[in-house]
Structure 1
């Protein structure tokens, strides 16, 4: 468990965020750091299409979400051989039915992040402390314009790197035959790995505080790889961000 004291760098960053009207703000967030030579128009689009709302849920709501998913997650083992090599050190499931108080939280996500309905199955991704999500572009075939996620248990750093994403939207060769994989993010993701080299382009690091909500849509979703930095590389603007076990509650809309 990560406890932030009042003088911690993360707490200082978060304090600046509380004045931001996060759901509709066009102001650059102090939780986003830009690197490289961004075209001004593209940076403005990115600010609108990649948002972070700190303290989206309370400590009590975090505990309630965690208590609902933990009994099932504890029956699973962490995996290190994801079918397309996108994730290491993870376990995952999907849930359609939620306790009433957690349904209320998910409805709040829908209202803030989506312009309509969300897919009925909510993806729960449990990333171990030493787990990593590698750079990838999610397919447009299995989910729509928007992906949003609530971060439980740990802070983390997400990196988005500009790339030519269109050529990575073709289906991978082979067939997903495992029933568990067929119901998982493997099908939704259908991930490919672009050559998104930092030295040849521009990118952004985003601090995802515990209990925050990120909203990735439109150009941020289509034109950038995204990844969760490993424990060894988890820094934001030169500050180490301790990465522990992280559970994300992920909502999507239909293609």
Structure 2
């Protein structure tokens, strides 16, 4: 993995280390996608980026526009019956609608099978319902760690409709952090230490800056798969 020292203005420290991840397939239009030599992950230190390199992954253009439309066709009618909530039960999310889904049409199921193959070890027992989180343009997810009682060592999420920034911060050391650029149509994967020892959040629009570049936040739907606890 090639690591370069660069400057990040306005987020945490002025100096960060970056991890370069190249686009794994032809890039679908409709979202901000970095060029092949631009970073998807920046961090507070070289050591942290190296240590979490196998535990934090962003795969750009994981789905196509047509596959995104297939998810929206299945989800929109149910989401429209809900209203955006601005007070989550544990104060972790602001401006959201959510649901769970067990059964999918063929096109979506094919994508979810790709997610499972990419993110989880073969034979790993998965949490049955797929979690759907719909963030309003003004919505955001506050720093939190998902309960170990309800999900296991790996989280994998598709990003629909909008680019966004995910921030990971070490629970007991706020000066250790990673920022992940999540382009529309991408898949992110968090495993093990990145899952258990770091909070994760989706930045609000006014804070959505990555590597010195503004990343406008629109309405964002995430389709999230998790495995079961050990």
TM-score of the superposed pair, with normalisation by structure 2: 0.82
Q: Which residue of structure 2 aligns with residue 106 of structure 1?
A: 112
2:41 is aligned to 32
Report if aligned partners of 1:158, 1:227 keep a CA contact under 8 Å in 2: yes
The residue matched to 1:48 in structure 2 has which SS? coil
Supply the distance in 2 between the matched residues of 1:238 and 1:223 (Cα, whole angstroms).
Answer: 26
Let me know the Cα RMSD of the aligned residues: 1.6
Return the match for 1:144 from 152, 155, 159: 152
The structural deviation recorded for 1:3 is 4.2
Contact 1:156/1:209 (8 A) holds in 2: yes
Q: Distance in 1 between matches of 2:165 and 2:212?
A: 12
The answer for unaligned runs of 5 or more in structure 2 is 1-28
Aligned residues: 199
Q: Does 1:222 align with 2:196?
A: yes
1:133 and 2:153 aligned: no
* CA displacement, residues 68-117 of structure 1 (integer Å, 9 cap, x when unaligned): 10110001000011111100100000000111111111111110100124
CA distance in 1: counterparts of 2:69 and 2:49, whole angstroms: 36
Q: Counterpart in 1 of 2:163? A: 155
Do structure 1's residue 46 and structure 2's residue 52 form an aligned pair? yes
User: CA separation of 1:131/1:125 partners in 2, compared to 1, >3 Å: closer, same or farther?
Assistant: same
| Larger RCO, structures 1/2 (Cα 8 Å, 6+ apart) | 1
For each residue in 1:1-25, what CA deviation from the matched residue of structure 2 results, as whole angstroms up to 9, or x when unmatched?
A: x945xxxxx44x2x307xxxxxxxx
Partner of 2:3: none
1:154·1:210 contact (CA, 8 Å) conserved in 2?
A: yes
1:234 and 1:243 in contact (8 A); partners too: yes
Aligned-residue offset at 1:219: 0.7
Aligned equivalents of 1:205, 1:249: Cα separation in 2 = 20
Cα distance in 1 between the residues matched to 2:61 and 2:150: 29
Q: 2:9 matched to which residue of 1?
A: none
Deviations 1:210-255 (A, max 9, x none): 0000000101101111000001000101100010000000000000
Whichever structure has more strand as a proportion of its residues is: 2
CA positional deviation for 1:119: 1.5
Q: Structure 1 or 2: larger helix share?
A: 1
Following the alignment from structure 1 to structure 2, what is the Cα–Cα distance between the partners of residues 3 and 94?
A: 26
